[in-house]
């Protein structure tokens, strides 16, 4: 309650709800206590800490500008999330990488960090991020994929899939087969759909997206009778 009252007095929050701001600071304090304890136990050099989120912020309580939309959408406001890694002696303090990664990468990364091998019977969808963390090389892939064949809790999203390949991101809608193509380097807010201006690129990315869905046996929505 004290934190809520603190942020209720602030006049510079924009669209950020005081309750949401209070939750963020409370979480930050809790994480700080965990990291302090790891330091106190002298385990920091042998502890990989990954901070991330499963999706973008809840719409209506947070200002995600310039990103478009929020939780439950395939736009960047719904899928672009924080990723902070702490591992003293391995990850340099203040180092930043612009390489797009995805949550499926955490499993092989943690195995790699612990010098463990995955069960050969278990498919591994991601790639180890250790080359990025050690700053030795880039990942051996060009694209990451997102699949949303169901309605979100708010019911406002359109079912579809997305592929991020380099600076471009393609969304394919399942209701009408339409495509949206955005140049994220120059249009992070996804305001300018260039699918019609770059039909060859849109078609190539759509083909890669369809191939990925087939290879992963991705669940698809069932048309309503």
Q: Say if residue 224's pLDDT is above 80.
A: no
Q: What is the mean pLDDT of the chain?
A: 95
Q: How many CA atoms lie less than 13 Å away from 221 in the CB half-sphere?
A: 16
Long-range contacts at 124-127 (CB < 8 A, ≥ 24 apart): 125/216, 126/102
Read off the pLDDT of each residue in 64-70 and give the average, rounded to a whole number: 94
Fill in the DSSP letter of residue 213: H
Q: Say if residue 8's pLDDT is above 90.
A: yes
Alpha-carbon Rg for the chain in angstroms: 20
Of 68, 50, 51, the C-alpha closest to 59 is 68
Q: Tell me: the pLDDT tens digits for 68-78?
A: 999 999 999 99
- What is the percent of the chain where pLDDT is above 90? 87
Beta-sheet strands, E only, within the chain = 49-52, 83-86, 143-148, 160-165, 168-173, 179-183
Confidence of residue 15 (pLDDT cuts 50, 70, 90): confident
Confidence of residue 223 (pLDDT cuts 50, 70, 90): confident
**In this structure, are residues 169 and 162 in contact, taking their beta carbons and an 8 Å threshold?**
yes
For the chain, the 3-state helix, strand and coil shares in percent, each to the nearest 5, are 30, 15, 55
Which residues sit opposite 6 in a β-bridge? none
- What is the model's pLDDT at position 13? 87
Handedness of CA 123, 125, 126, 127 (dihedral sign): positive
- What is the model's pLDDT at position 197? 98
Q: Tell me: the pLDDT tens digits for 82-96?
A: 999 999 999 999 999
**In this structure, are residues 149 and 74 in contact, taking their beta carbons and an 8 Å threshold?**
no
Fill in the DSSP letter of residue 58: P
Q: Tell me: the pLDDT tens digits for 104-143?
A: 999 999 999 999 998 999 888 899 999 999 999 989 899 9
**Main-chain phi, psi angles of 45, to 5 degrees:** -65, -15
């Amino acid at each position: 309650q004290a934190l809520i009252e603190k942020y209720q007095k602030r006049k510079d929050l924009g669209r950020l709800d005081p309750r949401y701001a209070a939750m963020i600071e409370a979480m930050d304090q809790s994480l700080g206590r965990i990291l302090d304890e790891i330091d106190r136990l002298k385990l920091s050099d042998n502890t990989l800490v990954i901070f991330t989120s499963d999706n973008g912020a809840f719409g209506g309580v947070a200002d995600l500008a310039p990103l478009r939309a929020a939780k439950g959408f395939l736009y960047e406001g719904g899928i672009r999330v924080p990723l902070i890694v702490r591992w003293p002696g391995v990850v340099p303090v203040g180092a930043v990488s612009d390489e797009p990664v995805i949550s499926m990468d955490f499993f092989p990364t943690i195995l790699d960090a612990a010098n463990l091998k995955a069960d050969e019977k278990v498919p591994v969808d991601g790639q180890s991020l250790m080359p990025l963390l050690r700053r030795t090389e880039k990942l051996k892939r060009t694209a990451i994929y997102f699949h949303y064949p169901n309605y979100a809790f708010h019911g406002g999203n359109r079912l579809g899939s997305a592929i991020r390949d380099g600076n471009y991101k393609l969304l394919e809608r399942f209701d009408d087969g339409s495509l949206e193509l955005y140049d994220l380097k120059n249009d992070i807010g996804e305001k300018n759909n260039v699918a019609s201006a770059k039909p060859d690129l849109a078609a190539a990315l759509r083909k890669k997206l369809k191939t990925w869905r087939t290879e992963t046996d991705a669940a698809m929505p069932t048309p309503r009778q």
